[in-house]
Structure 1
Amino acid sequence: MARKPIRSFIRFALMALALTAYPAAAQPVLNCAEHSKIVEFLGSHYSETLQAIGLINDAAILEVYVSKGGSWTILVTNVSGRSCVVFAGQNWETLPIGPGLKT
């Protein structure tokens, strides 16, 4: 029974440690709101559109929004529809898949 809280604490500690390794430009933002409001804001203010999505677990998904100008935002959305901006930055670059590139 005590394993779950211990694992959660260890995950939190590792995440906090990992976040301190990033430069200031990629520090976590953690602004939360209803998913549709954040998506609307990203589109109207930064021209960012959904470019990638991934399942984190049964309760959350990760979304990557990117603009043609290179700005990017990573959201985490829970099953209730609440999203949090986890990271945001500039100079996003999408690599083409071609010979020799592993995916």
Structure 2
Amino acid sequence: MVRRPLALAALIGAVAAYGITPTTAQTSCGPREQLVKLLADQYKEDPVGIGLAQPGQVLEVFASSGGTWTMVMTMPDGKACLIAAGNNWEMVTKIKGNPA
């Protein structure tokens, strides 16, 4: 349980080293390409979900086979921000809608 917050703090430090600036104590922002590379290289996290949050804003969830996960919000200008992270990610099957 304690490892993920420490890992997130380390990620924020690594993100800062790439020139990605912190916007709050828990959130770091910067170019999406750098953030995605960091998640893949350091945490072996790949995209597992994506959706439109607001016009032009894209929410993505990255997860690893080890169960770590990170939520990233990308703005229209390409700036991406870490917005949440945790452990014990589980993939669920899509719920089928009712027939029309």
TM-score of the superposition, structure 1-length normalised?
0.65
Higher helix share: 1
Contact 1:29 1:88 in 2 (8 A): no
Aligned partner (choices 12, 34, 41) of residue 31 of structure 2:
34
Query: Residue 54 of structure 1: CA displacement?
Result: 0.4
Larger Rg: 1
Runs (5+) with no aligned partner, structure 2: 6-24
- Counterpart code for 2:77: S
Map of 1:15 onto structure 2: none
Q: Does the CA contact (< 8 Å) of 1:75 and 1:86 recur in 2?
A: yes
CA distance in 1, matches of 2:27, 2:48: 20
The number of aligned residues is 74
Q: 1:86 aligns with which of 65, 83, 88?
A: 83
Percentage identity across aligned positions? 34
- 1:40-86 deviations in whole A, cap 9, x for unaligned? 00000000000100001212110000000000000000000000000
Q: SS of 2:61's equivalent?
A: strand
| RMSD (Å), alpha carbons | 1.8
Tell me which residue corresponds to 2:64.
Answer: 67
Partner Cα separation in structure 1 for residue 93 and residue 79 of structure 2: 32
SS in 2 for 1:42: helix
Structure 1: runs of 5+ lacking an equivalent: 1-24
In structure 1, C-alpha distance between the alignment counterparts of 2:84 and 2:96, rounded to whole Å: 25
Partner of residue 58, structure 1: 55
1:39 aligned counterpart, secondary structure: helix
Preserved CA contact (<8 Å) 1:54 1:63: yes
- CA distance in 2 between counterparts of 1:67 and 1:102 reads 25
